[in-house]
Structure 1
Amino acid sequence: MRNLSDFGASSRWSNFSHLYIERGAKEFPLTRRIRERFAKARVVEIDDYKTVFARPRQRFQAQKESMKLILAVKKDRFLYDGSGNSQDFSLEDFHYNTLMFNCVYNCDYCYLQGMYPSANIVVFVNLEDYFTATREGIRDRSNPAQPFYLCISYDTDLLAFESVVPYCRAWIEFAREEPDLLIEIRTKSAAYHAIRDLPPTDRVILAWTLSPEPVAARYEHGAAPLRRRLEAVRSAIDDGWPVRLCFDPVLAVPYWTSLYGDLVEEVVRRIDPAEVRDVTVGAFRLSKDHYQRMKRQRKDTPLLYGEFAQEDTTVTYPAGRREEMTAFMRRRLGDHFGEERIFAWT
């Protein structure tokens, strides 16, 4: 699959041949911007995005080869409580939002293919409604002594899409106005250049998911190679941004100890650990429902066919293997970052 880590070249957008636009979304500024960007795309007006996105008997992986873009107005649920499958960093008011459905990348282990019926990308264009809901969340948060912690790149890779939908930029500027807000933008892209002109703020954490290069090349289709992610990390740190490094998910692939040990050493050769805000670690895990749907669809990847165990509603590696992996990563990372800056999902 071609590398989609930098969407600056218009030729790379040839797969967005169709724009499906809700009639209620037609007059939003972002809709006009996207229509200008994809001037040759066929435009289809629809009443509700679900008539395209949620129709039955779609083939997720087939659609990944020719994704379409759906522009919609989100009607409700502008904030969600953080998932138990994510680290909360000891913050009580942990939330995420869904500015987009789906991702331009196609990682073998991604839960989105078990969550959504379609691989087409939905962009919600009514950004001000999200801002309003976030202000209300900040006001009503349970612990005023802590910030309202919001992940905005949870069900997508927002930075990878920034040249088309400049939502990272908009949220960074919004965060400057909200002293009690803390945002995380997580990415596998190298597209830091899309926001590099913005002054840094300690209210926004830029987080990069890092995988060993053989793992990234085989299982993280379209995402930036490790080298380019680390170059982006280096640039963001040099510019003064708070940066989080995410060794998550850790995959039980052959020779995983060697691969992930080498990954840690490569990271600390390129990045001074003292300049990193914190680090996350987590073994591969999925919700039971997402795992079952993915396994039915994906006969082409070994990642879903290893030894797994179900714990409540989560499918992950058996406890012994998971504890071994977490302990290994804690030990290797702790040598450089210190235990107090490592947040692990266990």
Structure 2
Amino acid sequence: MSRLFSLHSIKQITILITIKKSEFSSPFVYILMLIYLEKKAKSYPQTQKILSKFPNAQILEIDHYKNIFDKNIGDQNLAPAFIIAKQEHIPLLPVPENYGRTGKSFFFKTSLNCVYDCEYCYLKGNFKTKYSVLFVNYEEIKSAISEKINFLRETEKYQGPISFYASNYSDIQGVDSLTDFNQTFIPFFEQFENVLMETRTKSPNISSILSCNNGIPPKNTEFSFSLNPESIIKRYEKGTATLEARISAIKTLIEKGYRVGLRFLPLLPVENYDFLYRELLKKLKSELNLDQISSIFIASLIYNPGDFKIMQKKNPSSDLRPLISPQENGLIKIPTSTREHFLKIFREELSDQEILFDYV
């Protein structure tokens, strides 16, 4: 029987998933059986690589990924799926003020949506569907990045640092076993001077990091790990790796000379948070050589009102609402006094380290 279906047959498909555990530490621990394939993405080599990993999948051809991604379609928990698409008019969006490093910084995306289910994630307010979109036109995305760098260097005569953030629309490392992001983009960024790519992840799956670039730690990529106390991970970061697994991955990378960052985000002012975060920082100091860490950023909960309203509608039982204050400068945040207390915790516990801030 052919693997190819028309979109009209979607209503006839109830559940297309075969439960089969993977030996790899990846969110894709099941063999997914439903793939939406954008017609204009069919010819890309990356598409064929992805499809080859799911030989039993049923494929639904679509004209545009937004026909699925921007709609609420049935019970998405019943029929897990993902979307393969071509990214057009490739955006390289400047980061907001007070975000990340100094210099010129931009977001770029090779996928949309996250395979994890963190209760606080702003993507729940941004996107209507749970399905991930995997963009496959990697060469065009790389060309857009090269053009941006050349424009800044040659046209604007800017010679300062340039940063590209790859993980603000998805957890790149969490799906790398499917997308081959690392082996494509890590070597690509090595050709530039004073340019850095950063990925942020909750995944401990670092095998593809260690194997790409001929096993040589790249100078232009920082692998950052999102960290929280274990009790918060269990309560709010469903489906993600344990704190111990993340620390183990960090330890392996820094011991091998990789550039690693720590990201404490979002800081959650749960009951007894002062004790929980101080214990977390003491644990990290005892298990890691923090002098080998490239950078440390902290950030608190922050939403625009529209996204937060959608998140609350999707999960009315969420207990995030008591943790935040009314709008402040048009944004929903945790109270100023709480943010200041978090700063105090980190400055006291990590007094020998530089603490940088995203949106605090």
Pair 1:50-2:66 in alignment: yes
Question: Distance between the aligned counterparts of 2:283 and 2:127, measured in 1?
Answer: 35
User: By how many angstroms is 1:53 displaced?
Assistant: 1.1
Q: Which amino acid aligns with 2:116?
A: Y
Pair 1:29-2:40 in alignment: no
Question: Distance between the aligned counterparts of 2:317 and 2:210, measured in 1?
Answer: 38
User: By how many angstroms is 1:219 displaced?
Assistant: 0.8
Work out whether residues 65 and 83 of structure 2, in 8 Å CA contact, stay in contact via their aligned partners in 1.
Answer: yes
118, 141, 163: which one aligns with 2:177: 163
Taking a change above 3 Å as real, the CA distance of residues 149 and 10 of structure 1, as seen in their structure-2 partners, is: closer
Aligned to 1:134: 145
User: By how many angstroms is 1:170 displaced?
Assistant: 1.0
Q: Which amino acid aligns with 1:97?
A: F
Find the residue that maps to 2:263 and give its secondary structure: strand
Find the residue that maps to 2:240 and give its secondary structure: coil
Pair 1:116-2:127 in alignment: yes
Superimposed CA distance per residue, residues 93-130 of structure 1 (whole angstroms, 9 cap, x where no aligned partner): 11011210101101000001100011101011001111
User: By how many angstroms is 1:216 displaced?
Assistant: 0.6
How do 1:32-111 and structure 2 match up within 5 A? 32-55=48-71, 57-58=72-73, 63=76, 66-84=79-97, 87-91=99-103, 93-111=104-122
Question: Distance between the aligned counterparts of 2:132 and 2:331, measured in 1?
Answer: 26
Q: Which amino acid aligns with 2:108?
A: N
Structure with larger Rg: 2
Paired residue total: 335
User: By how many angstroms is 1:156 displaced?
Assistant: 0.6
How do 1:84-233 and structure 2 match up within 5 A? 84=97, 87-91=99-103, 93-141=104-152, 144-197=158-211, 198-233=215-250
349, 352, 357: which one aligns with 1:332: 349
Question: Distance between the aligned counterparts of 1:274 and 1:312, measured in 2?
Answer: 36
Taking a change above 3 Å as real, the CA distance of residues 151 and 143 of structure 1, as seen in their structure-2 partners, is: farther
Find the residue that maps to 1:164 and give its secondary structure: helix
Work out whether residues 312 and 318 of structure 2, in 8 Å CA contact, stay in contact via their aligned partners in 1.
Answer: no
TM-score, scaled to structure 1: 0.91
User: By how many angstroms is 1:143 displaced?
Assistant: 6.7
Superimposed CA distance per residue, residues 3-50 of structure 1 (whole angstroms, 9 cap, x where no aligned partner): x99845798223x22111011111111111111111111101111111
Aligned to 2:268: 251
Taking a change above 3 Å as real, the CA distance of residues 243 and 143 of structure 1, as seen in their structure-2 partners, is: farther
Find the residue that maps to 2:350 and give its secondary structure: helix
Find the residue that maps to 2:178 and give its secondary structure: coil
Question: Distance between the aligned counterparts of 1:10 and 1:88, measured in 2?
Answer: 27
User: By how many angstroms is 1:324 displaced?
Assistant: 1.8
Taking a change above 3 Å as real, the CA distance of residues 302 and 170 of structure 1, as seen in their structure-2 partners, is: same
TM-score, scaled to structure 2: 0.87
Question: Distance between the aligned counterparts of 2:77 and 2:283, measured in 1?
Answer: 32
Q: Which amino acid aligns with 1:192?
A: I
Is the deviation greater in 294-303 or in 222-231? 294-303
User: By how many angstroms is 1:309 displaced?
Assistant: 2.5
List runs of 5+ in structure 2 lacking aligned partners: 1-20
Q: Which amino acid aligns with 2:348?
A: R
How do 1:234-313 and structure 2 match up within 5 A? 234-313=251-330
CA RMSD of aligned residues (A): 2.2
Taking a change above 3 Å as real, the CA distance of residues 9 and 328 of structure 1, as seen in their structure-2 partners, is: closer
Work out whether residues 26 and 177 of structure 2, in 8 Å CA contact, stay in contact via their aligned partners in 1.
Answer: no
Taking a change above 3 Å as real, the CA distance of residues 273 and 157 of structure 1, as seen in their structure-2 partners, is: same
Taking a change above 3 Å as real, the CA distance of residues 65 and 110 of structure 1, as seen in their structure-2 partners, is: farther
Question: Distance between the aligned counterparts of 1:240 and 1:280, measured in 2?
Answer: 20
Superimposed CA distance per residue, residues 211-263 of structure 1 (whole angstroms, 9 cap, x where no aligned partner): 10111111111111000000000011011111110111110111101111100
Q: Which of 1 and 2 has higher RCO (CA within 8 Å, sep 6+)?
A: 1
Question: Distance between the aligned counterparts of 1:252 and 1:143, measured in 2?
Answer: 44
Find the residue that maps to 1:139 and give its secondary structure: helix
Question: Distance between the aligned counterparts of 1:259 and 1:118, measured in 2?
Answer: 33
Work out whether residues 101 and 123 of structure 1, in 8 Å CA contact, stay in contact via their aligned partners in 2.
Answer: yes
